[in-house]
Amino acid sequence: MSIPVITDLQSLRKLRNEISLKNQTVGFVPTMGYLHQGHMSLIKESILENDLTFISIFVNPSQFSPNEDLDTYPRDLDHDLNVIKNFLINENLNNNLDKIKIFKPSVNEMYPSGFTLDISKQKGTFIEVLGVSEQLEGKTRPTFFRGVATIVTKLFNAVKPTNAYFGQKDIQQTIVIKNLVKDLLIDINIKIVPIIRNSNGLALSSRNSYLSNEILNQVTCIFQSLKLANNNYLNGNLNINNLTNLIKDKIIQTNQNFKIDYISFNNPNNLDYINDKIDKKIGAILSLAVYVPNSTNLNESKSTRLIDNWILEPYN
């Protein structure tokens, strides 16, 4: 049995209406494809909690700035279908194949007013979630969350899910989406799923496919630095400068060509920056972004931006 891939809105809406008539619950997992086990943990959760699961595969152009990797972002539908099928077999969930539908629309379908990367020339409707989009990722990528909020709203309107699943890997995105549904009165439950890491602790990401094996080994220092900071925090070290230096040293000692974009401690409720000391009764979101060269080859000119985070849980 094969998984149906719907590519146009009309077919999606027809199917969605049939589902409504049957009163079935719909889970939704938005992705940019090139699926890995991180995506699959969201999909698994959706399969277990809903009658049907829609997975969207769409490399959303509006969340990329002109100098980013929109053109080279990995796209491979056969790979994605195989990852899903193998996962279901391995998890003994193979009898759920008929509960999965893939929505893989074109850019024209999702941007009926047309789309251009040049933001000053864009036409149509865009969504901004103010207050939680400007810091952290939004500082380095100023139009990123405008793109994310816009495509997620469009996909919500198309799929009309009961529950939608997002990964803690993109922790700021989860806060943006929760605010989006609150502010726009959207009746969808937002579910957050923990970060899936490989056996060395590296957070799984489609962009890891850009990296050579040697760099893949080295970037596990990111996870180790977060763990180190968390242990220090739990042992009473609440000083931001101190914790930041521990992380920096660990990363730079591994490879001095790793360039830290930011290391940040933010209030878990509103993402306000913590500048001096963590209040242990509140805890913090520790997040970072690091540019790493794609290989150790001296002539390597391409780099990849990796993000990761750790929730520093409150304690007494």
Q: Rounded to an integer, what distance in angstroms lies between the CA atom of residue 120 and that of residue 15?
A: 37
Select 59 or 312, whichever has its Cβ closest to ligand AMP: 59
CA distance 11 to 251: 49
Residue tagged active-site, from 6, 16, 32, 39 = 39
221 vs 208: CA distance, rounded Å: 14
**Least distance from ligand AMP to the Cβ atom of residue 113, Å:** 23
CB of 256 to ligand AMP, least distance (A): 26
> What three-state secondary structure class fits 174?
helix
Identify whether 79 is a catalytic site residue. Answer: no
Comparing CB distances to ligand AMP, the nearer of 32 and 243 is: 32
31 touching ligand AMP, by CB under 6 A: yes
Distance from C-alpha of 33 to C-alpha of 57, rounded to nearest angstrom: 5
What letter would DSSP give residue 221?
Answer: H
CB of 274 to ligand AMP, least distance (A): 23
Q: Please count the other Cβ atoms lying within 10 Å of the Cβ belonging to residue 14.
A: 11
Distance CA 61, CA 146 (A): 11
Residue 57, CA distances (Å) to 60, 74, 178, 199 in order = 9, 11, 21, 26
Q: Which of 147, 170, 219, 310 binds ligand AMP (CB under 6 A)?
A: 170
User: What is the footprint of ligand AMP within residues 197-226 (CB under 6 A)?
Assistant: 203-206
Which residue, among 291, 217, 286, 226, has the nearest Cα to 254 in the 3D structure?
217
Query: Which is nearer to ligand AMP, 69 or 238 (by Cβ)?
Result: 69
Q: Is 286 in the site for ligand AMP (CB under 6 A)?
A: no
Closer residue to ligand AMP in complex, CB, 58/258: 58
HSE, CB side, 13 Å, CA atoms: give it for residue 109. 18
What residues have CB less than 8 Å from 20, skipping those under 6 apart? 160
DSSP state of 113: T
Out of 193, 226, 263, 312, the residue judged to bind ligand AMP by CB under 6 A? 193
CB of 124 to ligand AMP, least distance (A): 21
In the complex, what is the shortest distance from the CB of residue 140 to ligand AMP, in angstroms, rounded to a whole number?
17
The yes or no reply on residue 287 touching ligand AMP (CB under 6 A) is no
What string marks each residue from 42 to 71 as x (binds ligand AMP by CB under 6 A) or -? x-----------------------------
**Phi/psi zone of residue 305: left (φ > 0), alpha (ψ -120 to 50 degrees), beta?**
beta
The window from 69-77, 111-119, 161-169, 234-242 that contacts ligand AMP (CB under 6 A) reads 161-169
Distances (CA, A) of 23 to 13, 19, 26, 51, 158: 15, 6, 9, 9, 17
Q: Which residue has the tokens 């277990």?
A: 48
| Closest separation in Å from C-beta 315 to ligand AMP | 25
Of these, 195, 211, 285, 290, which contacts ligand AMP (CB under 6 A)?
A: 195
Active site residues: 39
- Contact positions vs ligand AMP (CB under 6 A): 31-32, 38-39, 41-42, 166-167, 169-170, 193, 195-196, 203-206
